Amino acid sequence: MKTQMFRFAPASWIALLWLLGVNTALAADNRYELVLRGAKIVDGSGNPWFYGDLAIQGDRIADVGRIPASAGKREIDARGLIVAPGFIDMHSHSDWLLLEDGAAQGKIRQGVTTEVLGEGSSAAPFKGKLVPRPVAVGNQIVRITTLGEYFDTLDRAGISVNVATYVGEGNIWQCVMGHSFDRPDGVQLQKMKELLGEAMRDGAFGMSSMLMMPPGSLATTEDLVEFCRVVQEHGGIYSSHIRNEGLGVFEAVKQVIEIGERASVPVDIMHLKIADQKYWGRMSELVAMIEAARRRGVNVQANVYPYTRGNNDLASIIPPWAHEGGKAELLARLKDPKQRARMKEDIRGGLSEWYNHYTAVGGDWSRMLISANNKFQGLTMDRVIALKSQNQTRPPDPLDILFDLLIEEEGSVSTVYAHHTEDDMNLAMAQPWCSIGSDGSAYAVEGPLRRGNPHPRNFGTFPRVLGVYVRERGLLRLEDAIRKMTSLNASKLGIRDRGLLRAGFFADITVFDPARVMDHSTYTEPFQYNEGIHYVIVNGKIVLDHETHTGARPGRALRHRQPELPLGN
């Protein structure tokens, strides 16, 4: 009996060999611009890692899995390394720094490929009573009035990271109300909603508010619900620095849950923490409150940074009423003995429903570290007070020294406060709905963006999560930590083509050594890059190559896609 032989056309043989994984000359003809080989691939979904290759063509991921040999114009041996989606920094302040220098050194070297900007204030709008600020971009001075103009300016200037942004509730409020603390009338509130809608159409991913201080603190729950209904119409998210992170933290979380529930809008709480020593150890109660809201259908989530100190301003110690009218009026009040007396009374415990940084740290000046670019940078306030008290016959009131320092520095002194605990922060970070955001900016260790004494989170947030909380302490599985830095943040924002390693997704990729990755920046010596991040790829282009910035600026301004309106009447 003769064996039956089947004959295939040449094209069919090639297809069969391809399906069987056989390496043909056609398959190996440098079809991809870049191939990463032999890595542990952590795809961002939370699924277990697997060994594999990843191919890039143009600005997209072309394939993930087994890539034929010699298929890339450039091939990188990634054995022993982790290939992950580029990190999405859910809470960043690089709005204006990226226009000074789009290289984003401090973020790229952390593996960040997308920054999410706008905490209460944003790069736009600047209209009406909010005067546009002059910004140097290259050899030009520009004045940005809308988010659309900001996005266009970023794209023209060239940036190494992608940029997404919220529209700041403080911007739309001050465009209409200026520095007044008056209540807006119906016409003024409608104008704010129109400005909000315009910013959403320009590409904002949602609205953010900073409710702790004016102008954000002037908005009522009803105001915020009305604003968030506009956000909901455009398919956006509400991100909030809550009204009080200290003794009013439970009421503040309850407020943003109510806003999300009534407006049917997703909520993300910025840097969830308990920042008053009287309430330390009660994070489990906050977690339970959020879980209960989620069980009844409210999409409320949060983000954290992996540090127990936060950065704010010495001006935040000044009661809210003293800020009315802007910095000029604040400085005038600081110089007025009667107003000083009233401020002292309020700071030492005379005001309710106000998050007081002074009482939050127990009135301990040693827990306030100057991070501003002035002669006291890197000193704690107790040392500043001691220096300013020298050669005085009577010890001055420390609050008078605080007031005088604010006057000298034109009303603002950036300061790091030691106000929450490791245990509370760890519990928040471990929650499946809690992602990572640095609350930092794209500073650099040299050049014009080396300034002040910034919080170490500006340089170390993402490597610190991987080095300390994954490798050293085992608080998080590697796959879960990556998810918190990538797809979880993309999902919150509604970005559907980044945050995962999938064929067809944009090629934003971070490659790091899991045995070496670690932050080095400290509170007293912040200007130190991390180690262990080997490669960073943005939109298919290598920006960090063997831990060296290539100068490439393939980043883009990401504009939120408006939801498709249903056909009808």
Rounded to an integer, the average pLDDT of 16-40 is: 68
**CA–CA distance, 365 with 405 (Å, rounded to integer):** 14
Nearest to 317 by CA among 397, 406, 235, 249: 406
Give the confidence band of 240 by pLDDT, cuts at 50, 70, 90: very high
Residue 6 has pLDDT above 50, yes or no: no
Q: Quick one: how far is CA 249 from the chain centroid?
A: 21
pLDDT tens, 149-163? 999 999 999 999 999
Strands (E), 244-333: 267-269, 300-304, 309-313
What pLDDT is stored for residue 17 in this prediction?
43
What pLDDT is stored for residue 352 in this prediction?
77
Indicate whether 322 belongs to any domain. Answer: yes
Give the confidence band of 353 by pLDDT, cuts at 50, 70, 90: confident
Report helix, strand or coil for 63: strand
For residues 304 and 207, membership in a common domain is answered with yes
**CA–CA distance, 247 with 359 (Å, rounded to integer):** 10
For residues 429 and 414, membership in a common domain is answered with no
Residue 25 has pLDDT above 90, yes or no: no
Q: Cα angle vertex 409, ends 406, 414, to 5°?
A: 80
Structural domain for 268, as ranges: 87-308+422-448
Residue 250 has pLDDT above 50, yes or no: yes
pLDDT tens, 479-514? 999 999 999 999 999 999 999 999 999 999 999 999
For residues 243 and 281, membership in a common domain is answered with yes
What pLDDT is stored for residue 258 in this prediction?
98
For residues 268 and 229, membership in a common domain is answered with yes
Cβ 178 vs Cβ 324: under 8 Å = no
**CA–CA distance, 183 with 1 (Å, rounded to integer):** 97
Residue 2 has pLDDT above 80, yes or no: no
pLDDT tens, 182-204? 999 999 999 999 999 999 999 99
What CATH number is attached to the domain comprising 159?
3.20.20.140
For residues 299 and 322, membership in a common domain is answered with no
Overall size of the chain counted in residues = 569
Rounded to an integer, the average pLDDT of 240-250 is: 95
Rounded to an integer, the average pLDDT of 369-385 is: 92
For residues 156 and 214, membership in a common domain is answered with yes
**CA–CA distance, 383 with 385 (Å, rounded to integer):** 5
Residue corresponding to tokens 């007070």 = 385
- Hey, what are 502's tokens? 């999938």
For residues 279 and 296, membership in a common domain is answered with yes
Residues forming beta bridges with residue 207, ordered by sequence position:
167, 238
What pLDDT is stored for residue 15 in this prediction?
47
Least confident of 61-75, 317-331, 355-369, 552-566: 552-566
Rounded to an integer, the average pLDDT of 274-287 is: 96
Least confident of 27-36, 213-222, 289-298, 522-531: 27-36
Angle 221-233/169-177 helices, nearest 10 degrees?
Answer: 110
Query: Average pLDDT of the chain?
Result: 93
**CA–CA distance, 74 with 64 (Å, rounded to integer):** 16
Indicate whether 490 belongs to any domain. Answer: no
Residue 20 has pLDDT above 60, yes or no: no
pLDDT tens, 416-425? 999 999 999 9
Indicate whether 510 belongs to any domain. Answer: no
What pLDDT is stored for residue 356 in this prediction?
87
**CA–CA distance, 427 with 1 (Å, rounded to integer):** 73
Residue 12 has pLDDT above 60, yes or no: no
**CA–CA distance, 544 with 108 (Å, rounded to integer):** 7
For residues 282 and 207, membership in a common domain is answered with yes
For residues 390 and 429, membership in a common domain is answered with no
Q: Give how many domains the chain has, as a whole number.
A: 2
For residues 341 and 208, membership in a common domain is answered with no
pLDDT tens, 417-473? 999 999 999 999 999 999 999 999 999 999 999 998 999 999 999 999 999 999 999
For residues 259 and 230, membership in a common domain is answered with yes
Backbone angles phi, psi at 235, to 5 degrees: 70, 30
Alpha-helical segments (H) within 390-521? 398-408, 422-429, 457-464, 478-485, 487-493
